[in-house]
Structure 1
């Protein structure tokens, strides 16, 4: 029997996420991944020191990297230099690389909440009662503020993004492994982001989500496309999560959860088969 592959599973089990429990999801996922891999769990601050002993580093619910940005940057550099196989691969163009993609998608005309980062571009945003101001390196709504139009000119630009505050009907998330759709969940109440229910997407919904999966060009990995449904019925991208998206697996049926685990397991194997060890 060939040697089993070794996976270092990176998670912050104690991270106090609002409205969800990271630890439960990662305990479940690692219990299932052990069917195919020899698995060890570690905190993100320990990953760089431990990763050389493993065939793959699986980054999951590791928390916002802005809390340990210097260490995360060092982990990325060491992994790239040593040819360490990190899943998701470190080539993502979404949140993994910061919020610049929201500006790029806006400029390219994609269906995304309009986003600018310079005062001279404020005229490109639609007129609305309030505007969302968020740091470019933000996560989990850290640093998010809402301001009226008359305060926009006085903001300290450079490290912030400005968007119109959208009066949306609900938020919806589409979950993918590689380029394959897995399931969707939505939050019917805009004030309760993490009170999620099953959502049956239309063909148009899936076409919307797929354009961002295709744009990201991430051959392997787990991605979550977060969108909001406007009052007019359109979908607009809120975030493209490709670093460590929470999956809300406790809210999907057993069959869907089993299918996701199988898809993820196969994806990690394909990733290892496609990437020679450095």
Structure 2
């Protein structure tokens, strides 16, 4: 049996999500095919050389251990470590800079800038959202008027994202393993992000989501495309989570969940054998 070092913070408290329940369930299934050890994200270096694959799962915001995360990224290259996801992604695993790149490339994404000098790229809005580039779980997020944005954000500071507040109908997430769509969830009540129901994706929905999956072009891994549906019916990207997306596995129907687990096992074997 191949060996997996499974990275998770079982005690991280996430609003609306139970990391420990999801990862204890997932590891119970992966143990059927792999020898597996659970490891805290701050302890990776002590164990990483003894495993065939390092699976980076519900580790919490990397801002909580930013230095150790960056050191880990360096060791992946220097020590030729095999990881899952592969660390060649262009999205959340590198921070939120990609939202600016996608805005500039005219992708269907919530318009995003990181400097007041580019404010003219944003549509007029009553309220704007600012948040740190390396943030997660709404850490550091503020809702401000245009005047407040210019008061609180320095013109020479590029560590902060600025977006218009979008009046959307609901949020929807599309889950992929490698480049294959698996399932989708949405939050019918937009004030309750993690009260989810399964969503039947249309061909247009999947074309939207796959555009970002193709752009990111991971070698292997799990990705979650988070989007919002505007009042006009358009989908806009909120974020592309390509590091450790929460999967809401325990909310899935048994058949869908079993199919996901089997697809994941195949993908993990592919990553080990690559």
Report what 1:242 is aligned to: 242
- SS in structure 1 of the partner of residue 262 of structure 2: helix
CA distance in 2, matches of 1:256, 1:169: 26
Within a 5 Å distance, the mapping from 1:61-210 to structure 2 comes to: 61-154=58-151, 155-156=153-154, 157-210=157-210
Matched, 1:253 2:253: yes
> Gapped runs of 5+ residues in structure 2?
none
| Range with bigger deviation, 147-156 or 213-222 | 147-156
Q: 1:8, 1:40 → 2: CA distance?
A: 5
Shift of 1:152: 2.2
Give the corresponding residue for 1:22.
19
1:63-104 per-position Cα deviation (integer Å, ceiling 9, x unaligned): 000000001111111122100101001111110011010000
Give the TM-score of the pair, scaled to structure 2: 0.98
Q: Could you report, residue by residue, the CA deviation over 1:129-178 in whole angstroms, capped at 9, with x for unpaired residues?
A: 10000100010110000100122222123210100000000000000000
SS of the residue corresponding to residue 93 of structure 2 reads helix
The 5 Å alignment of 1:2-17 reads 4-17=1-14
By how many angstroms is 1:219 displaced? 2.1
Could you list the runs of 4 or more consecutive aligned residues of structure 1 that deviate by over 2 angstroms after TM superposition?
none
Contact 1:179 1:219 in 2 (8 A): no
CA–CA separation in structure 2 for the residues paired with 1:56 and 1:243: 15
Task: Specify the alignment match of 1:39 in structure 2.
Answer: 36
Cα RMSD (Å) of the superposition? 0.7
1:264 matched residue in structure 2: 264
Tell me, what secondary structure is at the counterpart of 1:27? helix
The residue aligned with 2:220 is 220
Task: Verify the 8 A CA contact 1:99 1:137 in the aligned structure 2.
Answer: yes
Unaligned stretches of 5+ residues in structure 1: none
2:58 aligned counterpart, secondary structure: coil
Contact 1:174 1:185 in 2 (8 A): yes
Distance 2:17 2:80 in 1: 33
